[in-house]
Amino acid sequence: MKKLFGVIGNPIGHSLSPHMHNDLFSLYGIDAHYHPFLVEKGRLAEAVTGLKAIGAAGFNVTIPYKTEIMPLLDWIDPLAKEIGAVNTVVNRDGKLAGYNTDGPGFLKSLEEGFPALVDPAILVIGAGGAARAIYFTLEKTRPAAIDICNRSLAKAQSLVGESQTGVPSSALSIEEAAEKINEYTIIIQTTSVGMHPQTDVSPIGLDGLNKQAHAADIIYNPSETEFLKQARLRGVKTLNGLGMFVHQGALAFELWTGIKPDTDRMRKTVLKQLGGAKC
């Protein structure tokens, strides 16, 4: 029988995940379908019970349900627990297991985009859900330091306070981080600033940025945010969020099927949907 996969969220109409996963199912000859499900506010528990009842084999979870879904699952992976968000669910014999592939997906993209960086000093801009996934994943790679700056400093302080690894980590205001921007090897932009309608705004000033630095953004549409443009104009290597999106999907696909999918092909599928934008 055809297996059912999907993504639940609100809004969900623009999700590119169905294209990416359905293409992989046909590539690997798997009799399955991946469907976007719009879940109305207040109806998440019903939706999860329904997916379980009809035997859905697995699903992704996106905004705004990544945290709210956690108490509805039977088991949660330790990294997802630490991050406080689940984006991938696997149905194992009727029990729902939750994972977070956003952080590990970002790490894979970073390793691919900026290979061979040793003991980097990292600055993360933002302290929301995406920043949490990246922070708890990257701190386990034991960087020289991982600082967080955020518009609301208290949120950055609270995130740094949860760290268990002993990796040097400070919470900074955006202005404090901008002043010492030349000290970082990698600067990671995780806020929504740079997406429509704020396409000509960078959340941080990059004057003084070191040419040897690396700038990564989790946004992939537009393919080059103002933050990345400013970094590129200063001669810095840049990486947009397409790799993170592809790799979080690839890790979810592997959890569901045991197959490590062709990420170049996934990238092409997404780019085609985006209308041939360069990423």
Strand partners, 8: 37, 61
Q: How many residues bind ligand ATR (CB under 6 A)?
A: 15
Neighbours of 100 (CB within 10 A): 29
Shortest Å distance, C-beta 174 to ligand ATR? 7
Region for residue 22 given its phi and psi (left: phi exceeds 0; alpha: psi -120 to 50; beta: otherwise): alpha
Number of H helices, E strands in the chain: 10, 12
Query: Does residue 189 interact with ligand ATR by CB under 6 A?
Result: no
Query: Does residue 20 interact with ligand ATR by CB under 6 A?
Result: no
Kindly tell me which of 143 and 203 has the beta carbon lying closer to ligand ATR: 203
Kindly tell me which of 130 and 216 has the beta carbon lying closer to ligand ATR: 130
Cis peptide leading into residue 168 (ω within 30°): no
Between CA 190 and CA 216 the distance in angstroms is 9
Shortest Å distance, C-beta 156 to ligand ATR? 8
Between CA 237 and CA 217 the distance in angstroms is 12
Q: Quick check: is 272 catalytic? A: no
Between CA 113 and CA 26 the distance in angstroms is 28
Query: Does residue 127 interact with ligand ATR by CB under 6 A?
Result: yes
Query: Does residue 105 interact with ligand ATR by CB under 6 A?
Result: no
Kindly tell me which of 57 and 159 has the beta carbon lying closer to ligand ATR: 159
Shortest Å distance, C-beta 253 to ligand ATR? 22
Dig out the tokens for 118 from the structure: 């040793």
Query: Does residue 213 interact with ligand ATR by CB under 6 A?
Result: no
Nearest 5°: the CA angle 250, 238, 125 is 85
Query: Does residue 130 interact with ligand ATR by CB under 6 A?
Result: yes
Residue of 3, 41, 52, 66 marked catalytic: 66
Among 67, 192, 223, 263, binds ligand ATR (CB under 6 A): 192
Among 79, 128, 141, 158, binds ligand ATR (CB under 6 A): 128
Q: Which residue number has the CB closest to ligand ATR?
A: 128
- Segment 144-163, which members bind ligand ATR (CB under 6 A)? 150-152, 155
Query: Does residue 203 interact with ligand ATR by CB under 6 A?
Result: yes
Q: Which of 137, 11, 140, 131 is nearest to 64 (CA)?
A: 11
Between CA 76 and CA 82 the distance in angstroms is 10
b/e sequence 256-265, b meaning 16+ C-beta within 10 Å: bbeeebebee
Shortest Å distance, C-beta 116 to ligand ATR? 28
Dig out the tokens for 86 from the structure: 């689940």
Kindly tell me which of 177 and 239 has the beta carbon lying closer to ligand ATR: 177
Residue 6 identity: G
Among 191, 230, 240, 269, binds ligand ATR (CB under 6 A): 191
Of the candidate spans 67-75, 93-101, 105-113, 120-128, the one that interacts with ligand ATR by CB under 6 A turns out to be 120-128
Kindly tell me which of 31 and 200 has the beta carbon lying closer to ligand ATR: 200
Dig out the tokens for 186 from the structure: 């990698």
Between CA 195 and CA 189 the distance in angstroms is 12
Q: Which residues bind ligand ATR (CB under 6 A)?
A: 126-131, 150-152, 155, 190-193, 203
Residues with catalytic function: 66
